[in-house]
Every structure is written in C-alpha cells, then in structure tokens.
C-alpha cells in the first residue's frame, strides 16, 4: 500500500520538498507517492488543495502526510482541516520563536524573495554570466576577480559545479580543464600560477570517469579506462605537489560538491537559499 504525501507551500515548495523528502528517506520500507502543491497562497487555492487531499484520503483509506511551509496562519488553518496529517515547521516553531523573541511574528509571505532581494538577484545573474564566460578555460581574463577557480580533467564535474555556485551563492566561479599536455609533468599550468590561492581541484574515481566519457565518446582513447586512470593519477599528484585543496566528487550531488567547496574555501554564504 502506497502512502500518499503532499508537499504544500505558499511559494515554490522547495523547502517543503526538502524537509519532507529528508524525513521520508528515514522510512525506507514504506512506499510513498509524492505530489507537490506550490503557490497555495489564497483561501480558494487552499480549499482546492483540501478537496484534493480529502479525495486521496478517501481513495486510500489512509490519511495522507502533508509537509508544508505555510506562513499565513489562515491558509494553514484551512489546510489543517483536511483529512491529512499536517507537519509544518512554521506551525511547530513560530510560537516558540514568538515567546523566545518576545515579539509577535508578522505572518508575511514572500519576504525572503521580495523586492529587497533585487541586489542579490543581480549578484547571481552577474555570477552566472561570469561562470558562463569563464567556463572550460574559455578565457582567463578577470581571474583576479574569481572567488574560486575549479580545476580538473575533462568530465570531472567542473561546469555544473560552477553554475551551481553562481546560482545558489552568487560566487564568481571559473573553471579550467587540466589536459594531458598539462600532465606531462606535475607542475601547475603557467596561466594558473598567479591564482594559486583561488584554485580548487576536483577528482573522480577512474571507473566513474570512464563511464561518463564512454557515454560521450564510446570506444575512444579519451574514454579508455587506462587513460582515465593515468589522468586521475597525474592530476591528483599535481594537487598534492602544488598543495591545491581538492575533493573526490564521484558519489556526490552537485549541491554537495558546491556546498563542500564553499565550506572548504571558507567563504561565508552570501545569498539567501530560497
């Protein structure tokens, strides 16, 4: 029997999804069926959500789980009258915070993304443009304004990581591919030498690199397992010799790689995370 789950938000639903999914992964023997209901920001939409939840409760003969992040207490009240089990961090914590801070809350939707956020919106767009124009060593101009320059062999995950760092944190993230020519000795390519303090290396298990490259160019020398092993061996030697911090991204999500790098380079998080 599948248990139905609704992820409900007055905004994008990203936070409700993150909270709900993390909690549900703790019940791995239960089969869940998830639906996201974003932008539930009027009583009418809340009524429609309740009707949908109640219909599923009726069909399943079991109450659906509702993970929500609903700021407006009136909307929350409507949803709480459904046949689902409401789990909402606002509901759980806002009263505790009001007591602790000795002030009522404002119950305002959308503060975190309103007009006040335009500066950081612009900062992110600038960061995306920076990442795009400094992708794959396309240009090494403006490296002095880089927050981080990712290095690594082809297909080790540099591009998506740079884009994530730009979109999520507004960082100026460039990336530079370490090619076979760079690996004849283990010295740092000349163009990177003045920017040593901003370099961060990515590495990856040779077998995983081989898989990724094979999808791109099957049966090529580029994708050959031995070739992947040689490049990874050489690039890791370079990182160690040059004391470049690095991580193995083989089994990490883009979020984890990005956040780990941010943490390791000791940058404060600049921007709101939605």
**Smallest separation (angstroms) from its own copies to the CB of 18:** 4
Q: Is 247 in the site for its own copies (CB under 8 A)?
A: no
Q: Is 95 in the site for its own copies (CB under 8 A)?
A: no
Of the candidate residues 8, 17, 68, 123, the single one contacting its own copies (CB under 8 A): 17
Integer Rg of the chain from CA: 24
CB 126 within 8 A of CB 108: no
- Cα–Cα distances in angstroms (integers) from residue 40 to residues 66, 73, 87, 107, 191, in the given order: 13, 12, 16, 15, 51
Of the candidate residues 1, 61, 96, 221, the single one contacting its own copies (CB under 8 A): 96
Q: Is 245 in the site for its own copies (CB under 8 A)?
A: no
Interacting span for its own copies (CB under 8 A) from 87-95, 185-193, 197-205, 233-241: 87-95
| Closest alpha carbon to 209 in 239, 246, 249 | 249
**Contact positions with its own copies (CB under 8 A) in 161-200:** 163-164, 167-168
**Smallest separation (angstroms) from its own copies to the CB of 126:** 9
* Terminal C-alpha separation, the chain: 34
Of the candidate residues 58, 61, 115, 184, the single one contacting its own copies (CB under 8 A): 115
Of the candidate residues 48, 55, 97, 191, the single one contacting its own copies (CB under 8 A): 97
**Smallest separation (angstroms) from its own copies to the CB of 237:** 26
Q: Sheet holding 32-37: strands in order across?
A: 32-37, 3-9, 65-69, 85-87
State the DSSP H helix or E strand holding residue 125, giving kind and residue range, or none if neither: helix 118-133
> Whole-angstrom Cα distance, residue 162 to residue 166?
6
> Whole-angstrom Cα distance, residue 84 to residue 62?
9
Structure letter (DSSP) for residue 9: E
Give the interface size with its own copies as a residue count (CB under 8 A).
Answer: 79
**Contact positions with its own copies (CB under 8 A) in 253-272:** 253-256, 258-260, 263, 269, 272
- The token pair at 122 is 């612009």
Q: Is 1 in the site for its own copies (CB under 8 A)?
A: no
**Contact positions with its own copies (CB under 8 A) in 133-152:** 135
Q: Is 119 in the site for its own copies (CB under 8 A)?
A: no
Phi/psi for 63 (5° steps) reads -75, 130
**Smallest separation (angstroms) from its own copies to the CB of 224:** 20
User: Which of residues 24 and 225 has its CB atom nearest to its own copies in the complex?
Assistant: 24
């Amino acid at each position: 029997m599948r248990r139905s789950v609704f992820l409900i938000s007055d905004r994008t639903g990203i936070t409700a999804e993150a909270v709900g999914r993390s909690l549900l992964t703790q019940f791995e023997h239960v089969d869940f069926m998830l639906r996201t209901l974003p932008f539930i920001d009027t009583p009418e939409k809340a009524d429609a959500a309740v009707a949908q939840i109640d219909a599923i409760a009726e069909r399943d003969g079991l109450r659906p789980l509702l993970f929500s992040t609903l700021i407006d207490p009136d909307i929350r009240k409507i949803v709480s009258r459904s046949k689902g089990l409401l789990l909402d961090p606002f509901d759980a914590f806002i009263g505790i915070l009001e007591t602790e801070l000795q002030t009522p809350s404002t119950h305002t939707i959308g503060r975190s993304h309103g007009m006040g956020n335009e500066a950081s919106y612009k900062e992110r767009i600038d960061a995306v443009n920076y990442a795009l124009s400094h992708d794959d060593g396309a240009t090494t101009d403006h490296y002095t304004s880089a927050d981080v320059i990712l290095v690594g062999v082809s297909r080790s995950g540099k591009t998506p990581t740079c884009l994530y760092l730009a979109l999520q944190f507004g960082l100026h993230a460039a990336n530079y591919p370490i090619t076979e020519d760079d690996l004849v000795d283990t010295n740092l390519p000349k163009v990177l030498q003045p920017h040593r303090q901003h370099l961060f290396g990515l590495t990856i298990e040779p077998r995983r690199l081989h898989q990724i490259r094979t999808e791109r160019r099957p049966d090529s020398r580029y994708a050959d397992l031995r070739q992947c092993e040689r490049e990874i061996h050489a690039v890791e030697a370079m990182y160690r010799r040059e004391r470049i911090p690095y991580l193995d991204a083989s089994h990490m999500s883009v979020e984890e790689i990005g956040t780990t790098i941010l943490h390791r380079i000791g940058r404060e998080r600049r921007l709101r995370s939605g």
